[in-house]
Each structure stands twice: as structure tokens, then as C-alpha cells.
Amino acid sequence: MEAPQAYAPRIYFVHSVHVGPLDAWPAVFAHAASLGFDHVLIGALFAPGVSGDGRIVADHARLNPAFETSQSADVALRTLAQSARERGITLLADLTLDRAAADGVLYAAHREWFHPFEPEDARLDPRHGHSDAHVAYADFERAGAPLAAWWSQRMIELVQSGLGGFRIESPHRTPANVLRGIFDVVRERHRDARWLAATPGLARPAIAGLEGAGFDAAFTSLRWWDFASSWMLEEHDVLRRVGSPVAFPEAPYGKRFIHDQEGAADARAIERAYRRMLRAAAALGTGWLVPMGFEYGVAESVEHAGGAPADFEAARARAPFDLSADIAHANALQRETWVLQCNGELRAMNGPGAPVVALLRGDRADLRDAEDAVLTLINPALAAPVRVNMAHLLDAVPGGFTRFSPLDAETLRGAHGAPARDASAVPDHFALPGGACWMFRALAAPAVLLAPREDIAKGRTSGHKTVADALLAPRIAIESVTPSVDEGRFVAKRIVGERVDVCAAIFADGHDRIDAAVLWRAADETAWHESPMAPVLPPGTDMWSGHFPLDRIGRHEFVVVAWRDDFASLVDHVQKKRAVNQNVDLEMEEASRLLALVLATAETSDTPDEANGGDTALNASLDAIVKRFIGADTDTRCALLAAPATAAAVRAARHRPFLSRDAHVRRVDAERRAARFASWYEIFPRSMSDDEARHGTFDDVIAKLPRIRDMGFDVLYFPPIHPIGLANRKGRNNTLTAGPTDVGSPYAIGAAAGGHTAIHPQLGTLDDFRRMLAAAHEHGLEIALDFAVQCSPDHPWLQAHPGWFAWRPDGTLRYAENPPKKYQDIVNPEFYAHDSKPGLWLALRDAILFWVDAGVRIFRVDNPHTKPLPFWEWMIADVRARHPDVVFLSEAFTRPRLMYRLAKLGFSQSYTYFTWRESKRDFTEYLTELTQTAVRDFYRPNFFVNTPDINPRHLQTGARASFMIRAALAATLSGVWGVYCGFELCEGRALPDSEEYMDSEKYQLRAWDWNRHGHIVGEITALNRIRRANPALQTHLGVTFLDAHNDQILCFEKATPARDNVIVVAISLDPYGEQRADFELSWHTFHHWRIDDGATLAVTDELTGQRFEWHGRWQHLHLDPHTRPFAIWRIEPARGLPRDEPLPESPDAHVAGHPELDTDFPLAGAT
């Protein structure tokens, strides 16, 4: 349906005194027509009274004396109208209905139609509303009918004389019903007559009162808009219910627009302001009005009284510019643009005060229904351009108007911006010049149709086919299932022996009860096991929870299922009706039929009950219940329905209407304990001889095992132990020239003795390695090897498989680089080279399997973020499919998303940013991220305090307390932590302005003084002892940061989920000065223990073994870095830990498990 065209006049306003005699008017009409106007509004058309005010007419039958004619008004108007029509102009005139000249004809003839004329003393009284001595005010209350009749007749005569309509001054002062009556009478004779309401300055209620009065148009206050406030749009919305909102760039009476520009920088700024205002009026008005002289920037004001043609001509001669062409262009836009002729909705596309004004105008009363629209962009600043981002303006655009094209050549003139989506579109970003007003035709993008609007019964998208799919769709919603990593794309991580807690949002339409379960199995099983789910408190959240055990290492799968529980719903209805003594005979019949259906389902089902091994005893029990029910009275039947045994028998029968299954089968890896809890110690085996002149061997490592064991470590990690290349071997402190005795970097893997499956000859043989491995196991230590996917130029693969590597155009190898770093002694294989697919991938996998066969089950992977992600996902999955007890540690110090992605791909542990976290805020925010976000399901941190590559600056000061602080932080915050040999000796010497160790073991042999003065072996031993004794410290989870009134003290609680092991840790972050603080214990722990805030706690100092008591949640601590800058306490209620209490018996086991189904459960907002 086409949009209705509104009355959209293009009006040139002319004050009669500025033109003069009748013979001067044809030139005015010709000028208006040349500018594109189709209406001329004549101000002060009729003879005024003694006041000279053109609004206060003395005789409506005579023209203003300025016309210099003795002809009657009707005769003279015929002449004027004929001249105007010849030029395509319709004449309009100003009329004031509520007032007349007190010295005029109308008042003299009909004084009774007006309010009594007050004496002078009364007019001077400020309490009286009317005080003009020359004005008579119409009394519409007493004389509305005769006034309306007189005005109707006079307007008919004026229209017959050639006037096309009238602008009504102060329309709110004439009752709307009177106005309507006048307009209707005139329209009966002259349907094309128009009425325009002079509304600027009126209050909103006054404007709203004109709705329904019959006006064709009303005038906006746009001329006074600051291009920021919201009132203009509010006024526009009210006005368009009165008539077409006609805008003007300058008011017909009063001060000219140029007076607003007194602070303008120069004449060009003034002209820009004029152009912006006239384009804004043309764009935002349904029609517009331009006062004579605006096109020239005339400064002289237009008054209701006074003025002469000579005055206007003189002002015009002084005009600073001529905007005639701009006005003609604006009139052409209004004439040729459909939307600008419609009284449609105008809506802001951004907020008030925005840097750019963006207004969308449609051709309908509601933009959502519009078929055409215009977007107007205005820069409120005259001098400075503003950046426009079209995407910001299109957010939730009504009507789907998302495509735009310039409406005229002025729009986008000189714009420079980002490329558009297609050549004909507006750029996505561009600069809007200062003072610009650009208009765009807005086009609604076609909707995306997935089926024809007319349904074709046999078509591919027929509703007959899609409805069949809908009928089969799950009726019960299963959402937000956890644990789930990226909706099941990746595997969640847990530890064998853990219970996997599964949560899901489960709900359905209506108020029927539902039930749910978790189906789970090990990945090598075909049959599913089932565990029930129950609603989570508080009720009304639709959240359900269940759990299943992980009693095997390796991959597990689970899926959530739900169904409608018809039996429970029926029991609930019966109990509610019985509670208010309502008849339940019909419900008993329904129960009889339901029990028969359930029994038939159980007897014919070929699906065994996983939970009960397909036991038929429950079927027999159900059969007995059904038989008893059939012959029982109502009371007995009700008792049978409510019996827990009946509910159990029905559940066992697995009658599950509308059974729904989550669309995703989610996966969980059960890893061994070492993946979550381990204490790592790193050594270079070649430095274990205690002699810098002798290369260490595996036998030297065996000799050090008791010392490492005694410190409490359980993982002994070696950097690469493979043959080291000679080509480009590095010298001491990473120098590029190696001497004959330099041993090189162990990361330059490969030499004549072999590659990734060989052992550096000076360390020993494979048999020696296996013997060392066995000795380590005897000491409770597990060996972890470094897996570095890099090769020295001497690696055997370069001879056997040159196609696995990247070669430069000059035929040389592409060495490993991370600009500005360059590793001249290693090259990286090219994973996607033609010859590498799949040989390289398999060879690397086989290297891992080789060491697995040798007895290694933990691998630290060097820089995995520099190798293809698909390789790691495939390789780890392949290895763990064969050996699910293998643990991989990712050494990727890179961007967070990439670190997390590697964990998702299968790495059991990850190096972290812990090394560079130093402040209380750092630790709190980082641990919160690792433990309270989705990361917790797949990312396990390994807090290494130092590495051969990283000598943190906070350890380079040599302060012994710094080493104790970092050890305490790592050992207590994370379940897995690591120490590189020398840390316990407080080794912190570094190369200048670097995090590299001085005389690093990466490039030379070292002999350590294991008894160096000031070592912290005792503290590390104590930390590892405490970790082994307290399960709360065996994971990074379960941390709660406590409020401690000192930014230099980090205080936190670590607790098991059951809070049967609660550890409180306080660590000073100041290695030099004593620190004190009051701190507050966790409210959650007190609440879980069911004790009040002032309760007494039994406290054990885990470092000294001392026992004492704390009273209440607020405690005080003092930490001295010169003795021990940290404290670890184990706490529990003085009266002992609370015992688990059995749940009370419930007469309705199902209701007890479903609190949201209780009769008192609020239904508002529930499903």
C-alpha cells in the first residue's frame, strides 16, 4: 500500500509592507517561482487598526495601505491570485481569529462577540489578562457560533477571491471545536483550502490541544534548535498529529537568523551556518517556509508593525551573500523526494548531544512500516569535522534501513573514508565537514527469506515437512550444560577419582513436572551408565545438577537427558485437590490408565535399566501395585500413589514421555594426580658432577636423588638430553663463538650420535637412563623430559629428510628466529611442507612414544605456541589414546588466548604469567581469572618460580626473603609448582639489564655449592611437606582471597569443596620490611561449618606445629622478612568439623528432590 502524501507546501513568506503597491507583486511571485516555491504567504494582508500591527485587523474587506489601492480586498486579491497562479504560486494569508482592532469594523458591528472593553485603569491592573487599549478579544464562550459563522463566510469569500489557505496566528486561543467548525464549512465549498497553525513557542499541551482541529500543517521550532537537545524531536512528534510539520530556517517575524551568528569566526562561518540551517529545514520539514531576504542574509528584523519597501531594498543591497541557488536546490529536493512530502516518523539514530546528529525520516507514521526513508546527518560544529561511523548509527535501525546512497551532489562532497561494502554504497567511515548537513536516501535491505511467502505443499520448504520436524523436536529444553569447553568442542579436565559435577538448565512449557539424568561412560565402552539429576536450590532457576564418578584414567563422555514425569504431575494434582477436599475420582481413573501404560511399557521394553541391571523384580512390584490399585477404594488408591515404593517402581519402569537429549555429547579427560598436584625440580644432568671440568652423567644424577627427594619434590625435570649439534654451537653466556670445550645449548638437538630418540653420549646410554629412571622411582621421583621440536643443523633428519625443513632462496637453511632474537644453532621443521605431510608429524609422535616406552610419562613441551595447533591436538590425542597416563606441560609464554587454546588442545598443565605477577592486585586478579571463569575447566597452571630462560628481576636483588616469598606464593596458590636448580640456593645473578642468568647452564657446565650460606632448602622442604599433608593445597582451585588491610600482604584461604581441610595463608610481598595487618576470615567457611562470626577456631601453625586458638573472624598478623615472610595455618572449629547429617524422611520423595514443585513454590517467572 502506498504511503499517503501529506500537505507539503514550499512557502516564500513576504511581508506586505516590504513589497508595497499591487504592481510590485508580480515580480515577487516570479522571484519565488524561480527559487522553486509553490506558495507565497503574505503577512499583514489586511488593513490594520490604529496600532499598526498587521495581526490586529481593522477591516477584513480592505487591504493593507501598503498595497496603495482603493479596490476592495476581494477585487485586489483576484488580481494578485491571478498573477501568482500564472507563475505556479498559491497565495496564503495570515489571519488572527481571536482578536480584532478595537477601532475596527468587526468590533464596531458586533461588540457583543467580544470581551467587554476594559477602562484604562483596569487595563493598567496587572491582574487583568488583556491590557492592550487597541485590541478587542473574541469571546468564544458566549459568541462562538456567530463568530464561527462570520469567519466561515469571510474565508469562503477570500478563497473565492483566490487565496489558497491561511496561517492562523495564536491558534490555541481559539477553541478546537470552533476551528473545526469553521474549516468544515469552508471545505464543503472549497475542498482544497488549507489551514496552517502558527505553533512555534507554544507549550506541548497547547499544541496537543490542536489535534483534530482540522489543520493541514503546523510550524516547527527547528530554527531555534541547538542540534543537540531532544526537544525538537519531541515537538515534531506532537506536531505531526496536528498537521504536516513545516520547518523554517528563519522566523517570519522577529530577529533574523544572522543575529545568532554574532560570535562566528568569519563570514564563511556565517554562510556555513545559513546553509546548514536551510538544508536542515528542507530535510526535516514536511514542506518549509523561507522569509523573503533569508537568501541574502538580510539583517533587518521583520516586525508586525512598520517597515517600507525602501528599507528592505536597502538591507538587501547590503547582503553578504546570495543563497538563491541553495534554496532552489532545496526546493527541488523537496519536490522530487517522496519522503520529504510525507508526514512520517522522525527518529534520532543516536543520543542527544552526540558529536553528529543522525535523524531517520520515513514515509509512514511508524518507521517500522516505512517503505522509503531519508537519513540526515548534521555536524553541530561549524568549524571542526566529525568522524562518522555508519555501523554505530545502524544499531537496531527501524524498518531495516541499512543501505544508503547520497540524495544530492552536496552529500559526501569531498568525503574521504573507509571503503564501502560495495561501490554504490556509502563508506563505512567518513568525515562530516564542519557545519555540513548531508542527506541520504535510505534503502531497506530485503529480508532473508528461507521459504516462499506462499506455502507450497510439495515444495522443499513446505510447512508440511517442517512441521513434521517440529513435532519431533525436543519439547524439553536442555541448556548451559557444564562442564563444557566451547560447547563440547574441547575436552574438560578432571583427575581420576574425582566426581564430575554436571549442571544444566532444564525446563519445559507449562507446569508439568520433569525429571532428568546424566548418561555417562568411558570412551571405550558402548553401554551408558545413568545417574539421576535433581533441581538446584534456590528454586525457580531451572538449574539441575547430577554427578558421575571417574574411576578410570582416560577419556569419558556424558550427555544430559530429560523427560516429562507424568506420574509425579498426577500425584501432585491429587494431593493438592485432596488438601482442599475436592473430588479426585477422575484423577483416580487417570492414574489407573497411567499405571497400566507404565506397566505395559516396562513389560515390552527391550532397553535394560542400566541402573538396575534390567532386574525384573521391579516390574513384578509394579504389577502388584497396579492390581492392588484397581480394586482399592479412593483412600487406598491415594495412599498407593503417594507411597515412595510406587514412585520407585514407576521410575524403574522408565516411562519417559517427551524424552529429550542434549544435542552435544561432552567429553571429560580423567588424568592422573600428577597432572593437578606435583612439585617439580629442574636440573641440567650434565652439571650434576659437582665439577665444572667434568660432564655430568646419569650416575651423577642418581647421586643427587636423595637430596631432591628430601626437599619434597616428586617430579625431576631434565632439559633435552639428546645429542647436541656442533654447527653454530653457542658459547658461554649465549656467545656466538664456541670454544673447543664449550658444551653448547641442549636445545640444539641432533648430531652424528642421533636426534630426538638418542641420548647425548656424555650423559650415558639408554640403559643408563633406564637405570636412573628406576632409581628415581625408588626415591618417589618421576622423570619429566623436555620435548623441543627443533633441530641443530647436524640433526640426522636434515640429511634423511631435507624436505622437512624450510630453505631460503639462496639455498641456505632458514634458522629459527623471533625478531630481534635469532637462534643460529637451531632450525625448525616446516610442518606443512609437501614432504612433511605426514612423515614429520608421525616422526615427532614416534619420538614421544619412544620415550614413553622407555618409562617416561611426563613431557614439558618447549614453545608449543610456535608450532601448528592442529599438530598438538592430533599428537596429544594420539599418544593419550594409547597411554592416557601421559602428562604434557606447555611452555608457552605468549598471549592469553593462545595459551588457553593450547590447554584446550590437550596440554595437562601450562606455564603461566605467575613469574611476572608481583602485586597483591596482580595475584588476586590472575587467580580469580584462573579459578572463577570458564578457564578452570581446561587450564591448569604450573607456577614455576624461575626457569633457565627466566631469572625474574625480583630475584636479582639477592634478598633471601624474595626467594622465600616467591616459593610460598607458588607452592600455596597452585597445585603444581616448579623450581629450577639454584633457586633454593638464592641464585639470582643476571646478565646486565636482562632476565638471563649469568653463566647460564644452558651454555656451560656448573658446579653448585649445595650448602651455600643463606639457602632456603629448609623452607622449600617445609612447603612441600605442608602441600602433601593438606589436600586444599593440591590444586589451584578452592582459593578465596581474604580482606587484609595492607597492600603488602596477600592473605587467602585454600579449602577443599567439603571444607574438611581449610588452610589460611598470609604472605608478605615486601622482602625488606616488617608488615602487619588485620585480616578477615571467610564468611563462607564459617557458614559451611554452621558457626557464628565470634566462634572459636582451633589453629595449627603448619610451619612450626604450634597449636592455639583464634576467636572470631578478624585476626591480626605480623610478618618479618628476616625470619619468615609467610605464615600457613590450618583451621577448624574448636568443637570439631560438622558431621554430615542424613536427610529427613519425606512422604513424597519426588517433591523432596524437586523443591520447585512444592505447593508453596512461586509460579511467577517459573516455567
Tell me the binding residues for alpha-maltose 1-phosphate.
730, 790, 825, 863, 1002-1003
Peptide bond connecting 820 to the previous residue in cis, omega within 30 degrees of 0 = yes
Among the listed residues 169, 271, 700, 862, the single catalytic one is: 862
313 catalytic per annotation = no
C-alpha Rg value of the chain to the nearest Å: 45
Q: Which of 920, 897, 922 has the alpha carbon at shortest distance from 910?
A: 897
DSSP-derived pairing of the beta strands 1096-1101 and 1075-1080:
unpaired
Render the burial of 39-60: b for 16+ CB within 10 Å, e for the rest.
bbbbbbbbbbbebbbbbbbbbb
Q: Which residues are annotated as a binding site?
A: 730, 790, 825, 863, 1002-1003
Q: At CA 672, angle to CA 666 and CA 673, rounded to 5?
A: 120
Cell output for 611: 541402573
891 catalytic per annotation = yes
Three-state SS for 433?
A: coil
What is the Cβ-side half-sphere exposure of residue 874, based on CA atoms within 13 angstroms? 12
Q: Which of 423, 420, 542 has the alpha carbon at shortest distance from 479?
A: 542
Q: At CA 1076, angle to CA 1071 and CA 1081, rounded to 5?
A: 115
CA dihedral 608, 611, 615, 617 (to 10 degrees): -130
Angular region, 297: left φ>0, alpha ψ -120 to 50, beta rest: left
The DSSP-derived string for 163-224 is EEEEEEESGGGS-HHHHHHHHHHHHHH-TT-EEEE--TT--HHHHHTTTTS--SEEE--GGG
Q: Which residues contact 1160 (CB under 8 A, 6 or more apart)?
A: none
The DSSP-derived string for 703-719 is HHHHHHHHTT--EEEES
Three-state SS for 445?
A: coil
Q: Which residues contact 462 (CB under 8 A, 6 or more apart)?
A: 455, 456
Query: How many other CB atoms are there within 10 angstroms of residue 466's CB atom?
Result: 13
Peptide bond connecting 483 to the previous residue in cis, omega within 30 degrees of 0 = yes
Distance CA 943, CA 1036 (A): 10
Render the burial of 208-232: b for 16+ CB within 10 Å, e for the rest.
ebbbebbbbbbbbbbbebebeeeeb
Cell output for 965: 616469598
Residue 1055 is classified by DSSP as E
Side by side, which strands form the sheet with 976-980? 909-910, 887-891, 858-862, 782-788, 715-718, 678-682, 976-980, 942-944
Alpha-helix runs per DSSP H in 938-1053? 960-973, 1017-1029
Write the single-letter amino acid at 465: K
CB 131 within 8 A of CB 124: yes
Distance CA 558, CA 562 (A): 13
DSSP-derived pairing of the beta strands 194-197 and 217-219:
parallel
Among the listed residues 609, 782, 891, 1019, the single catalytic one is: 891
**What are the angstrom distances between the C-alpha of 88 and each of 10, 29, 40, 586?**
12, 9, 10, 83
CB 137 within 8 A of CB 98: yes
DSSP-derived pairing of the beta strands 660-661 and 135-137:
unpaired
Distance CA 839, CA 845 (A): 10
Distance CA 750, CA 725 (A): 5
Query: How many other CB atoms are there within 10 angstroms of residue 1092's CB atom?
Result: 10
Catalytic residues: 862, 891
